[in-house]
């Protein structure tokens, strides 16, 4: 259950009675007053969800140990179902796709380094996220939560100039699936435009590949040309859009799905 974003998110499931499963999820959603359900459905049964009013919003390629996940959603209110910015977001992607993809990143500016975050970085990370986001779709801005997930459930990487963290991002880990969501991307306002984020994301990708992860994906704000451009030029594939998916800057926003296959390690490998 995702209280921050008033939704149920199902990453994995094992079902013997599909109807009972769907009804149970609906009951939990209604009991908590949530108005969106998201499920990472599998190839063999994603169409079953459509029979119960779910819609296909995106395809998350490689998510299930190299096999595709079909992101199906069900909306429980007209407000959550309706996006006022959808056409602008479609045109943004069309404009982006008309550009030639650049394989070369800007060089890292002198005096900056990219590394995995250390526990002593937590106070600066908290200040960075509190400064950038009016609200955030996870309890990340709370110190106790960040300390709990830090370099365990999520890997954090930073770009620093001396002792000052200029930008940061994380990889939220789904080890059973060998998939990771690249998220929590933030750059100090005075450091934007230097290409720092692409270096951080590349560092996280290399770390994930060393751990035999197969899938890297992100959910980028659909109205942010900058973040969508970063993933487009990193050769991620645009695979759909999640409507009113999470609360950022104090309101629900649509999120674009971008996916990249990290490696050819698609055989079953035990995860540690």
pLDDT, one tens digit per residue, over 161-192 is 999 999 999 999 999 999 999 999 999 999 99
Do 76 and 92 belong to one domain?
A: no
How sure is the predictor about 269, in pLDDT bands with cuts at 50, 70 and 90? very low
Q: Which CATH number does the domain housing residue 77 bear?
A: 3.40.630.30
Q: Which residue has the higher pLDDT, 105 or 15?
A: 15
Do 63 and 140 belong to one domain?
A: no
Positive or negative, the CA dihedral 239, 240, 242, 246 is: positive
pLDDT 10s digits, 91-123? 999 999 999 987 678 899 999 999 999 999 999
- Report residue 105 CA to chain centroid gap: 22
Q: Is pLDDT above 70 for 272?
A: no
Task: Quickly count: other Cβ atoms within 10 Å of residue 215's Cβ.
Answer: 26
Q: What is the pTM of this model?
A: 0.89
Q: Summarize the confidence of residues 79-85 as an average pLDDT.
A: 94
Q: Which two tokens stand for residue 148?
A: 């709990």
Do 44 and 173 belong to one domain?
A: no
Provide the strand spans (E) within the chain.
Answer: 7-10, 36-41, 55-64, 67-75, 112-116, 154-161, 164-174, 179-187, 215-221, 237-248, 251-261
Q: Is pLDDT above 50 for 18?
A: yes
Q: Summarize the confidence of residues 47-57 as an average pLDDT.
A: 97
Do 129 and 206 belong to one domain?
A: yes
Q: Is pLDDT above 60 for 267?
A: no
Q: What is the extent of the structural domain holding 18?
A: 7-81
In a domain, 272, yes or no: no
Do 90 and 76 belong to one domain?
A: no
Residues 65 and 177: beta-carbon distance below 8 Å: yes
Residue corresponding to tokens 């994603």: 46
| Domain endpoint, select from 38, 64, 81 | 81
Do 49 and 112 belong to one domain?
A: no
Do 139 and 185 belong to one domain?
A: yes
Where would I find the H helices in 52-169? 78-81, 86-97, 122-132, 143-149
Q: Is pLDDT above 60 for 268?
A: no
Q: Is pLDDT above 70 for 265?
A: no
| Domain endpoint, select from 31, 52, 81 | 81
């Amino acid at each position: 259950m995702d209280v921050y974003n008033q939704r149920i998110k199902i990453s994995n499931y094992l079902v013997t009675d599909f109807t009972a499963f769907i009804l149970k999820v609906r009951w939990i959603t209604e009991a908590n007053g949530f108005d969106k359900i998201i499920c990472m459905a599998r190839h063999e049964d994603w169409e079953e969800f459509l029979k119960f009013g779910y819609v296909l919003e995106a395809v998350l390629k490689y998510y299930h140990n190299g096999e595709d996940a079909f992101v199906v959603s069900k909306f429980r209110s007209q407000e959550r179902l309706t996006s006022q910015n959808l056409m602008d977001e479609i045109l943004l992607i069309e404009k982006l796709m008309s550009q030639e993809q650049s394989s070369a990143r800007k060089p890292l500016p002198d005096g900056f380094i990219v590394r995995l975050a250390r526990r002593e970085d937590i106070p600066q990370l908290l200040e960075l996220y509190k400064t950038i986001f009016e609200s955030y779709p996870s309890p990340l801005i709370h110190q106790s939560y960040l300390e709990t997930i830090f370099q365990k459930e999520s890997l954090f990487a930073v770009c620093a100039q001396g002792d000052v963290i200029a930008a940061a991002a994380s990889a939220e880990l789904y080890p059973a699936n060998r998939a990771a969501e690249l998220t929590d991307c933030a750059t100090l306002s005075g450091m934007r435009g230097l290409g720092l984020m692409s270096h951080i994301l590349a560092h996280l990708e290399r770390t994930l590949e060393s751990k035999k992860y197969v899938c890297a994906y992100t959910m980028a704000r659909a109205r942010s040309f900058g973040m969508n451009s970063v993933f487009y030029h990193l050769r991620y594939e645009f695979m759909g859009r999640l409507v009113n998916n999470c609360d950022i800057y104090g309101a629900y926003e649509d999120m674009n799905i971008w996916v990249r296959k990290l490696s050819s390690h698609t055989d079953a490998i035990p995860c540690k």
